[in-house]
Amino acid sequence: MNTASFASLNLAPEILRTLTEAGYTIPTPIQAQAIPLVLEGQDLMAGAQTGTGKTAAFALPMLQKLLPHASTNTSPARHPVRALILVPTRELAIQVEASVKAYAKYTKLRSLVVFGGVDIKTQTPHLKTGVEILVATPGRLLDHIEQKTVQLNQVQMLVLDEADRMLDMGFMPDLKRILALLPRIRQSLMFSATFSDEIKKLSEDFLIYPTLLEVARSNATAENVTQKAYMVEQVDKHALLVQLLRGSDATQAIVFTKTKLTASRLSRQLQRDGLAADAIHGDKSQLERIQALDAFKSGKISTLVATDVAARGLDIDQLPMVINYEIPHAPEDYVHRIGRTGRAGASGTAISLVAPEEERYLKEIEKLIKCEIRKETANLPAHPARHQRTERHEERSHAPRPPAAVKRSHDAWFDKPYEPGVSTAPAQPQPEAPAAKPSARPMPALFRRPR
């Protein structure tokens, strides 16, 4: 396959122009694989995460295919929704639509994003003027469908982005309702980081003879991201965090917590410590979330405390540091989290603060990424409470531990270890890494359903 340039992928000049302006010279592996297939009209089931360049992988051929419908006519009837992109979170919706809009800059195609948490009335007038490409979260799209502010009977392309996360977040009933409203003859593209049985089932329900695209999972762990873990008592985490944030050369950091409550509390504590911090999590209003994210992206705040759901899929340019204040219980979440740094070929640091009761989760992570994370010793001032707790911990550590809760996937591909050194997000111009050779092959029988 020719991955030499975007021009060789037969994209129209008005699309190539934006890529040149954005500095994209070489398609990423998922783009090189997906673009020709989408242009051919095939359904796709692609294993790729945010960070691999997958937005352009579906958006560029989508624009190319919709170009004949581009029109300057002001009549809404001339601008029906022809492509629908469903995503699980509001932030991702905003991000994806911003990319689509940027790629469509020199075309006459219109795009719009609709998501919950904001007044629906603000979205309706825009919808009514007509858009060819609609990016939506499922719940809000259903609201618009109920209010008859959107028609989906002319959708010819559907993208289901982060399908695995949609399932995790319980979107299945909403998805089924939306899919039932789409024309049966259409092209469907599904992107998912995992190929669990549920994902296969979902793909059977709405893809027709899809091609399976496997691009090695984005794993910046080996080369770009320096990983460290501090074995530390829970009571010391806050002091250590402040020390790390203040002492580091990194200008910005995302600090991950497991719960919304911890995220809120921690960001308030950090503000009291004099750090420019804010939190982003599911209990915040949409406006607050957008403001916090914008403040972080523009550099107004240096620390963003986030839960996994809120931070999923975010593309923050040049983020130098990720700190796991609490260790995720699902090891895959660790990879998603640290994937926020070391993007686009930049280097990054991922630091985990591991309390004794979290050690077993760290072991699960090490097993998944197939490498041992370097352990560091925290250099903290003496703390009487810590001393007592450490003694208690030493006593406790002789007692047998319950077995670690292993989250199993049902698919052999997902159980494959991460391959150190294989990065699939070469945002810097560079040839496709041979070790990460992606494969395009017909979908296994399990994925097929009769026409």
Choice between 135 and 373, CB closer to ligand AMP = 135
Nearer to ligand AMP, 315 or 326 (CB): 315
Strand partners, 44: 189, 211
Whole-number Å distance between alpha carbons of 113 and 243: 40
User: Tokens 């049966």 appear where?
Assistant: 184
Burial 408-427 (b: 16+ CB within 10 A, else e): eeebeebeeebbeebbbbbb
Structure tokens that stand for 310 in this block:
């809120």
Tell me how far, at minimum, the Cβ of 6 lies from ligand AMP, in Å.
7
Nearer to ligand AMP, 91 or 326 (CB): 91
* Closest separation in Å from C-beta 28 to ligand AMP: 5
C-beta of 343: minimal distance to ligand AMP in Å? 6
Give the CA count within 13 Å in the CB-facing half-sphere of 334.
Answer: 31
> Alpha-carbon distance 270 to 245, whole Å?
10
Tokens (6 digits) for 396: 């406790």
Q: Which is nearer to ligand AMP, 315 or 358 (CB)?
A: 315
Q: Which residues make Cβ contacts (< 8 Å) with residue 226, sequence separation at least 6?
A: 347, 348, 349, 350
Cβ neighbourhood burial of 247 (10 Å; 0-12, 13-18, 19+) = exposed
Residue 123 vs 137, nearer CB to ligand AMP: 137
Minimum gap (Å) between residue 177 Cβ and ligand AMP = 27
**Other CB atoms within 10 Å distance of the CB of residue 369:** 21
Closer to ligand AMP by CB, 242 or 316: give it: 316
Q: How far is the CB of 91 from ligand AMP (least distance, A)?
A: 12
Distance CA 17, CA 236 (A): 52
Q: Return d(Cα 301, Cα 351) in angstroms, integer.
A: 20
The span from the CA of 176 to the CA of 303, in Å, is 38
CB of 303 to ligand AMP, least distance (A): 22
Cβ(43)–Cβ(83) below 8 Å: no
CA atoms of 223 and 167, how far apart (whole Å): 31
- 297 vs 363, beta carbon nearer ligand AMP: 297
Of the candidates 216, 217, 213, the residue with the CA atom closest to the CA atom of residue 35: 213
Closer Cβ to ligand AMP, 83 or 142, answer by number: 83
Instruction: With CA atoms as reference, report the closest residue to 96 among 33, 53, 129, 140.
Output: 53
C-beta of 429: minimal distance to ligand AMP in Å?
7
- Residue 312 CB, shortest distance to ligand AMP, in Å, is 11
Q: What 8-state DSSP symbol labels residue 371?
A: S
User: What residues make contact with ligand AMP under the rule CB under 6 A?
Assistant: 24, 26-28, 31, 50-56, 315, 344, 427
For residue 33, the minimal CB distance to ligand AMP (Å) is 12
Q: Which is nearer to ligand AMP, 51 or 342 (CB)?
A: 51
